[in-house]
Structure 1
């Protein structure tokens, strides 16, 4: 387990990102602490994916400052774990589940490293921890979406990270597998004090886990607890139009939030729980 420290694992000061003349988000002031679970929400094109890319060091800020585990983005090495979106397994289809996990221990982006003493045992322990022992030697392209995501969680945890970045890891998963993946992530956070940044289009699978929410919309943002941010008043002010937030059986449903991707090339998933009313009608069924 990493040594405890009061230093935030993510620190943003007046952070802004723009593509040409389009401000994606700006004036972000954020400290993410050890063991904190931050959910990142917002409509299509609001900048959720860009926020993740900024943390990974794949896109530079337009202005402001950002550090990740005390270093510039992209310089955190194995102290940072990353779970990507469900995607095609380009170059990995024939790889076994255990091979992908081993890449998180001694490999790198361009290939597998040489096996070291005890590596095989550690791989087995990780596969067992994420419930993937039964298909450890099965090629990835023969696994279901939920099984693949379990293995990706294992790969991300293999380096014993202090920060876990989860980029829409629940896409294309059914409710059972969504629950399994979120519980794996949350169990790691609680047992090791790992901070989690979880980008998602659907807040409900992580609602009981999230300490705070970063909600992005129209170049603006709100940061706070789910109870503070996910309200009709807060989101109506953020969007500049009437938005209703309903609580139904411990689930959150957002009604009427505009889709920012219309007419743009920035495609990201829908806001959490959105149900759009039919033209000429108000409200929606949960």
Structure 2
């Protein structure tokens, strides 16, 4: 994997009064913001607000109704060779009879796989990507024999094999158990910290990603906005965003998480901050990655 200099080349993604319409209906409009290189950004919002649509617009897969989007200094779609993309349901987009190594190689060979010979250098590159993703020991295993978390890491390896400057993932934690979610988040942390890779994630639930996020694009009232996480983690903003009362809780250990708020009339068993801290605490000996972002500790 190649180390990237996040300070070179200007911003990563620039929206200029961008709007998308589908079937005569405006999905979102007046997108006007800049996402810096070297950031880890979530696209958040309720279902149907256009989170995946935004990522596809950035990839140039959906035309804009108005305005422009530049990605890595080029109009949307022109720099896709420098972008790694992991779709929402990876297993449905690739033959599950392929091995993990064959799947990773698709990131280099694409539709030519099986027609043109694969070089020794390409195999070495694919194995390097699998190794970085922590799944090299399953290189000869078929996707159909792997767990959901293992398949997700193969998908990330496929996206990494061509040394992208920007990694884009659509709901990478969906349908994964907590251990698999944590492994994927730790992998993303390593990519950002060790390689300087810019990462963008479509996310429904922020909690597992909070330790690594630097900012978020939030789709609110039909308009996309970008802000640093210390501004996004606001109870009033998140309550408006999700249409239900939301609380941002900080534990005594400095961990932050987002939880549905409870009204005075709600009868529920509410944990104290100390109890919640215990639920979120992990033993350092079990971890392979440690990092801190804006006071939130990746454990």
* CA–CA separation in structure 2 for the residues paired with 1:122 and 1:34: 25
Specify the SS of the correspondent of 2:150: helix
The structure carrying a bigger helix percent of its residues is: 2
Aligned partner of 2:258 among 250, 253, 266: 253
Aligned partner of 2:213 among 194, 205, 210: 210
Contact 1:39/1:198 (<8 A) preserved: yes
The C-alpha deviation readout for 1:131-190, integer Å capped at 9, x for no partner, is: 112210111111110110111111111010000001001111111111111111221112
Query: Which one has more relative contact order, counting CA pairs under 8 Å at least 6 apart?
Result: 1
Distance 1:91 1:103, change over 3 A: closer
Contact 1:9/1:34 (<8 A) preserved: yes
- Written as runs of structure 1 = structure 2, the 5 A alignment for 1:144-159 is 144-159=147-162
Distance 1:91 1:2, change over 3 A: closer
The C-alpha deviation readout for 1:36-75, integer Å capped at 9, x for no partner, is: 1111111111110111111121111111110111222222
Normalised by the length of structure 2, the TM-score is 0.79
* CA–CA separation in structure 1 for the residues paired with 2:80 and 2:46: 30
Unaligned regions of 5+ residues in structure 1, if any? Answer: 257-274
* CA–CA separation in structure 2 for the residues paired with 1:42 and 1:70: 26
Q: Who is 1:265 aligned against?
A: none
Deviation for aligned residue 1:237: 5.1
Contact 2:34/2:226 (<8 A) preserved: no
Distance 1:61 1:90, change over 3 A: closer
Distance 1:238 1:85, change over 3 A: closer
Deviates more, 1:146-155 or 1:189-198: 189-198
Distance 1:100 1:80, change over 3 A: same
Normalised by the length of structure 1, the TM-score is 0.82
Aligned partner of 2:16 among 5, 13, 22: 13
Specify the SS of the correspondent of 1:108: helix
Contact 2:90/2:155 (<8 A) preserved: no
Does residue 108 in structure 1 map to residue 110 in structure 2?
Answer: yes
Aligned residues: CA RMSD:
2.5
Specify the SS of the correspondent of 2:18: strand
Q: Who is 1:266 aligned against?
A: none
Contact 1:53/1:59 (<8 A) preserved: yes
Deviation for aligned residue 1:77: 3.5
Distance 1:244 1:205, change over 3 A: closer
The C-alpha deviation readout for 1:74-97, integer Å capped at 9, x for no partner, is: 222431001122344455111110
Specify the SS of the correspondent of 2:74: coil
Specify the SS of the correspondent of 1:118: helix
Aligned residues: 263
Contact 2:168/2:199 (<8 A) preserved: yes
* CA–CA separation in structure 2 for the residues paired with 1:62 and 1:69: 21
Unaligned regions of 5+ residues in structure 2, if any? Answer: 272-299
Distance 1:146 1:221, change over 3 A: same
Specify the SS of the correspondent of 1:198: strand
Q: Who is 1:128 aligned against?
A: 131
